Structure 1
Amino acid sequence: MPNTATGPIRASALSKARVAHVALRIRDRESGIAWYRDKLGMQVVRAFDLNGMTFTEMAMESGEAFRLELVSGDGAVERPGDGELSDSFLLNGWHHLGIWVDDVDLAVDELRGRDVRITLDPTDNHEWMVRVAFIADPWGNVIELLQPLQAG
């Protein structure tokens, strides 16, 4: 795929923007917290109620500033499909959350031991110089694990 950039990015009010969080809509707060805590090692940072929903921010143990925000409460509609990687590319909207790890193979082995569904076993993507694997949470949300490949 060709690079579509046309030149240097001009300075703007967004030139120093950083991603703060991604929100996932779930029905049951406790099961969401349990899965992301027990399977991925995330911890609850804070929670608050607003308009009949509970917003729960979770963070990686690494201290990364990025947050996963679980939005729970009645009225959530199930996501179509079951998190199968090939089917997930048919849906509009956000596709997956990418998480850097030191060793994709070790991470996948550990997640298998925690009964996490692996939707793509570790594989090298030489185009992007990463080793990747994909998993799915119980609600069909897709998560990519990435490890940089060494040049050479």
Structure 2
Amino acid sequence: MAIPTYPAKNNLSPLSSMKADHLALRVPDFNASRDWFIEKFDFRVIHQWPFGDLKLAYLAPAADDNFLIELIGGTLNTPRTKHADLSASLGEGGSHHICFAVEDTKKTLEELRSRGVKVVAEPFVVDDINCLLAFVSDPWDNLFELSQKI
């Protein structure tokens, strides 16, 4: 079953200029996390700056200038909960994962695995959205979904 057709856009809304720009990701080790995104996901550093005791950067995927991750690095008072598997992670509130649309989930996962990226969930089909999904994580247990339309 495919996702139904989207409702018509509401261009008359006073908020119609609102569009996704970036997602902020808080990590304990700025340099290691920035380097992980560069080495594992081929992300590009768009801009980097300090903010008090924190270090920040905008990171963009290899060939996409329309979505950024704002990396915020510095000491964490409350570390992220570590989960044994994907199902266990679904019981926690708040942001869960970042999804990246890919042309081929299996090939992308194979490449990430060759780069030492931790695989959390092997490819599986979700018929309700007509997608082949897989999940990986960074060393700080942030989850990333790979999604292929099928």
> Deviations along 1:28-82, whole A, 9 cap, x unmatched?
1110011111111101100111232111110001133100111012344210114
Normalising to structure 2: TM-score of the pair?
0.87
What is the Cα deviation at residue 83 of structure 1?
6.9
State the alpha-carbon separation in 2 of the partners of residues 137 and 75 from structure 1. Answer: 16
* Match of residue 42 from structure 2: 41
Unaligned runs of 5+ in 1: none
Q: 1:140 to 1:10 in 2, by over 3 A?
A: same
1:7 CA drift (Å): 9.3
Aligned CA-pair RMSD: 2.2
What percent identity do the matched residue pairs reach? 27
Which structure's relative contact order is higher, taking Cα pairs within 8 Å and 6+ residues apart?
2
1:54 aligned residue: 55
Aligned length: 146
Which residue number corresponds to residue 95 of structure 1? 96
Is there any run of 5+ residues in structure 2 with no aligned partner, and where? none
Moved over 2 A (4+): 5-11, 13-16, 74-77
